[in-house]
A and B are shown apart, each in its own frame.
Chain A
Amino acid sequence: EAGVTQFPSHSVIEKGQTVTLRCDPISGHDNLYWYRRVMGKEIKFLLHFVKESKQDESGMPNNRFLAERTGGTYSTLKVQPAELEDSGVYFCASSYKGLLINEQFFGPGTRLTVL
């Protein structure tokens, strides 16, 4: 069974540019989460989808971040325009079903560097 995949693995962009990160969850997983780790600090929650619906977006830093999950499969996280403080590692995770608490499987992360 394929795990959670993320693309790209690394992205280096200049301040003011746009970047789109992609996450493909494990097939059949309803829940999809985005997290971010900035500069060796804690991994912070950004957003939670249940299928195509945003269940919780309380962690989204500001309106420069837009997450979508059309069709309830893969998700994209767009940062527009990117700022220096957006640099970090963006993790995606998925888990099996609905709002049941269960194990989240993490992707390898996308390392974003904003210059």
Chain B
Amino acid sequence: AQSVSQHNHHVILSEAASLELGCNYSYGGTVNLFWYVQYPGQHLQLLLKYFSGDPLVKGIKGFEAEFIKSKFSFNLRKPSVQWSDTAEYFCAVTYTNAGKSTFGDGTTLTVKP
């Protein structure tokens, strides 16, 4: 079965610290990869996505992620977090022609001011 693994369930950082959230997916062929964020009391919203091309993708709010095909990974990074980045982050994979997305468990990020 297709699966997505997020390595950290809860991350606590101070403002200005660097962030890296791990995401690995099970092999299943060609994939499209997403990171979503859910701020407290808000909808899930897309941070960034990878469909093809440059494996380093840049998203909103200074986030970026790198697709490493050989490692089945799509880690999310931000060089300097802010208090407003406190949220839950979800990695998701859509296998080509499948339509549906498979999500990881989510990582709760708490940024201390």
B103:A56 contact, CB within 8 angstroms = no
Q: How long is the Cα–Cα vector from A56 to B101 in the complex, in angstroms?
A: 12
Task: Contacts A101-B32, A101-B51, A103-B49 given; indicate if A45 touches B100 (C-beta within 8 A).
Answer: yes
Q: For the complex, is B75 an interface residue (Cβ under 8 Å from A)?
A: no
Q: For the complex, is B90 an interface residue (Cβ under 8 Å from A)?
A: yes
Contacts of B105 in A (CB 8 A): 40-42
B67 to chain A, nearest CB (A): 15
Task: Contacts A42-B105, A101-B94 given; indicate if A59 touches B100 (C-beta within 8 A).
Answer: yes
Query: B51 — nearest CB in chain A belongs to which residue?
Result: A101
Query: A107 — nearest CB in chain B belongs to which residue?
Result: B43
Q: How long is the Cα–Cα vector from A23 to B5 in the complex, in angstroms?
A: 28
A104:B101 contact, CB within 8 angstroms = yes
Contacting B at CB under 8 A, from A85-115, are 91, 99, 101, 103-109
Q: For the complex, is A75 an interface residue (Cβ under 8 Å from B)?
A: no
A44:B103 contact, CB within 8 angstroms = yes
A3:B104 contact, CB within 8 angstroms = no
B99:A43 contact, CB within 8 angstroms = no
Interchain CB contact (< 8 A) of A43 among B45, B49, B90, B97 = B90
Q: How long is the Cα–Cα vector from A42 to B92 in the complex, in angstroms?
A: 10
A56:B100 contact, CB within 8 angstroms = yes
Where the two chains meet, the residues of B that have a C-beta atom closer than 8 Å to any C-beta of A are 4, 32, 34, 36, 42-46, 49, 51, 90, 92, 94, 96-106
Could you list 5 A-B pairs, sorted by A, with CB under 8 Å? A35-B103, A42-B103, A43-B106, A104-B101, A109-B43
Where the two chains meet, the residues of A that have a C-beta atom closer than 8 Å to any C-beta of B are 3-4, 31, 33, 35, 40-45, 48, 50, 55-56, 59, 91, 99, 101, 103-109
